[in-house]
Amino acid sequence: MGAGISGLACAVHLARRGVAVYLYEAAAQAGGRCRSYHDARLDCVIDNGNHMLLAANRAALAYVAEIGAAATLTGSPRACFGFVDLRSGLRWSIAPNAGPVPWWILAPRRRIPGTRVRSYLAALRLARADAQATVADCLARDDPAWERFWEPLTVAVLNTAPEEASARLLWRVVRETFLRGAGACRPLIARDGLGATFVDPALALLRRHGARIVFNRRLRALAFAEGRVVGLDFGSEQVPVGGTDRVVLAVPPNVATTLVPGLEAPRDARTIVNGHVRLPAPPPPSAGMRPDFPVLGLIGGTAQWLFLRGAVASLTVSAADAVADLPNDEIAARLWHDTAAALELPPTPCPPMRIIKERRATFAQTPAALARRVAARTAWDNLFLAGDWTDTGYPATIESAVRSGRTAAALVTKRSPIANEL
């Protein structure tokens, strides 16, 4: 149930192993929070929001390879992230070195301007953080690394402000990326959009394997008897669940809790806002947009990331609940201000911009919410849960969604969870 990335990953894994798969999706298209569509205003295909993977996301990359879409992922040839401070115009790059010892922080020219070695060693306080600690509990806000590294990193990977984000979860990310060196930090994006990399090839593979995919079919209720799911209620249609059938719920947490009695799950969500705009002119070379990886981190504005695809710039504002409450015109004006400053373009006029507000982009990754993540196995024999919000140990990302889907698939086929295989 649910054709987001977790449901697709689960379905693909099962279908390739000869399991007969029925995939039911409430929306008219697959992809869930990771989707593309044709936008009439911009007259091109855009994503609901910018998505980035890192080479450390092994399950996500394995999924993309499994569906035959590896060639559609494009990455920076090396681990290098360009940044600009929109207020001062100062530009710099973060480029971790190869290998697990981060000696790049010892070289003043490789460090973020204004930071010292101890700005990075502060990460060790994240390593020692208890389950209740937030990122802000562990790190000093008066260090320049706060504004130029820790805050943008937290918001980018946890979609939660550092004042409430889990220190432990951020530490896991640091450990699996920066502390594994450049090879793990190499950023990757979907060259032709999210649909072409994560969704359409999965649907094609499923169809080749005889899976039945039904859109516009919202699961309204589950019928239970004798410790099992025995029926699916789609409102207009009731589907019996046979003795050998298994049900995987790969729906968001706020939906899962309405379908599964007594289910505890993370409650609060955080917003991501994206603005997509067709540029009136190409940015000058001085704007430092690398042709091989046209992504820029923004400091001191409203947005945190700018992706450039052809002539369309897409800006991301994470942990954006307050921004999302503003009228679209005002959001567009702010995001165009950021775009013009980052790409050295005229600040007026503001071209037409598509604003997409994802109010439930991820769950709020606070210590309290992490304690509410649940296992894939449920109290019912033939019912399993998947979704980026389940207890994968990873932030609510594509990586977590894929892992959850494959764990559920492994339970369906009664094999050991995939987490151990990767």
Ligand X SMILES: Cc1cc2nc3c(=O)[nH]c(=O)nc-3n(C[C@H](O)[C@H](O)[C@H](O)COP(=O)(O)OP(=O)(O)OC[C@H]3O[C@@H](n4cnc5c(N)ncnc54)[C@H](O)[C@@H]3O)c2cc1C
Would you count residue 26 as binding ligand X (CB under 6 A)?
Answer: yes
> Minimum CB separation from ligand X for residue 96, in Å?
18
Question: Binding ligand X by CB under 6 A: which of 14, 32, 96, 162?
Answer: 32
Would you count residue 6 as binding ligand X (CB under 6 A)?
Answer: yes
Contact by Cβ (8 Å): 382, 241: yes
Would you count residue 153 as binding ligand X (CB under 6 A)?
Answer: no
Would you count residue 33 as binding ligand X (CB under 6 A)?
Answer: yes
* Three-class DSSP category at 371: coil
> Minimum CB separation from ligand X for residue 100, in Å?
23
Total residues at the site for ligand X (CB under 6 A)? Answer: 37
Would you count residue 154 as binding ligand X (CB under 6 A)?
Answer: no
Contact by Cβ (8 Å): 312, 254: no
* Three-class DSSP category at 254: helix
Would you count residue 66 as binding ligand X (CB under 6 A)?
Answer: no
Interface pattern 378-417 for ligand X (x via CB under 6 A): ---------xx-------xxxx-x----------------
* Three-class DSSP category at 285: helix
Residue range at the interface with ligand X (CB under 6 A); choices 50-58, 99-107, 160-168, 279-287 = 50-58
What contacts 368, CB < 8 A, 6 or more positions away? none
Q: Which is nearer to ligand X, 7 or 82 (CB)?
A: 7
> Minimum CB separation from ligand X for residue 345, in Å?
24
* Three-class DSSP category at 269: strand
Contact by Cβ (8 Å): 412, 384: yes
- 67-91 burial, b at 16+ Cβ within 10 Å, e below that, comes to bebeebbebbeebbbbbbbbeeeee
Our CA angle for 25, 31, 32, nearest 5°, is 70
- CA atoms of 253 and 249, how far apart (whole Å): 10
Question: Binding ligand X by CB under 6 A: which of 36, 134, 166, 274?
Answer: 274
Peptide bond into 352 cis (omega under 30): no
Q: Which is nearer to ligand X, 104 or 363 (CB)?
A: 363
Footprint on this chain of ligand X (rule: CB under 6 A): 1-7, 24-27, 32-34, 48-49, 51-53, 218-219, 250-252, 255, 272, 274, 358, 361-362, 387-388, 396-399, 401
